Amino acid sequence: MQTPFQLYDYFKISIIQDKIENVSRNLNTLLVDFALKQKELTKVDFKKICSTRTIPYNSNKVKFLLFEPATNLGSTVFFPNFRDGWYTAVYNYTKLRNKNAYQVGFTIDDTKKYPAYFFSYFYKDKGQIAERRVHAIKEDSKWVFFSGRTPLPIEDTSNYTRRSIKDRISNEIIIGYLKRAGYDLTDQNFYTSAKNAILFTN
């Protein structure tokens, strides 16, 4: 089984800290206007979401995959066919269901236009959903760095003082943060679902 790191030049993946049964049911309700159909899969197959190297910015057909990693029971991976990782769906889920979630973005081929690296964590703060975000994006010929809200204990803030902006956050740094949080994206078993994966389409 190929992972997104092997399949795509850039992708975003979210980890929602909720069981797959809850995420499936709640996303069906949240996204009711899309008239989604769902199909259970015995294996995680990212190619069913996007079969090309480049995930589109916008797609006429909605697709997303849910699975509960064998290494992280009780958490659900959300992988859509939107280049932005369907940010609003993840944000609204955490807001409406009072759940925490990570959303991270990886660039595999940095020769492509606008390479970017994202690390976000949605969490409840004083009754509201807040987002801890760190990103670096290349806009035209210039790298832009952003860090918002209080860093998490899993972060190494010394990274953010590096002279080169593109070195402040990278695939390796993001993977390291998630490992500290208990999610090892380098472990093949992370992409093996403890229960049937679920494919949603409209």
Closest CA to 82 of 60, 59, 102, 61: 59
Predicted local confidence at residue 122, as pLDDT = 98
Edge-first strand order for the sheet with 76-80 is: 37-41, 197-201, 63-67, 76-80, 10-16, 101-107, 116-125, 128-139, 142-148
Domain residue limits, the chain:
4-201
HSE-up (13 A, CA, CB side) for residue 107: 18
Assess whether pLDDT exceeds 80 at residue 58.
Answer: no
Cβ contacts of 139 within 8 Å, gap of 6 or more = 114
Predicted local confidence at residue 60, as pLDDT = 81
HSE-up (13 A, CA, CB side) for residue 103: 25
Place of tokens 């969490």: 123
HSE-up (13 A, CA, CB side) for residue 94: 27
Can you tell me the mean pLDDT for 55-66? 89
Assess whether pLDDT exceeds 80 at residue 133.
Answer: yes
Q: Write the pLDDT tens digit of every residue in 76-122.
A: 999 999 999 999 999 999 999 999 999 999 999 888 788 999 999 99
CA-CA distance, 188 to 199, in Å (whole number)? Answer: 20
pTM: predicted TM-score of the whole model, two decimal places = 0.96
Predicted local confidence at residue 114, as pLDDT = 86
Q: Write the pLDDT tens digit of every residue in 161-202.
A: 999 999 999 999 999 999 999 999 999 999 999 999 999 999
Place of tokens 């679902």: 193
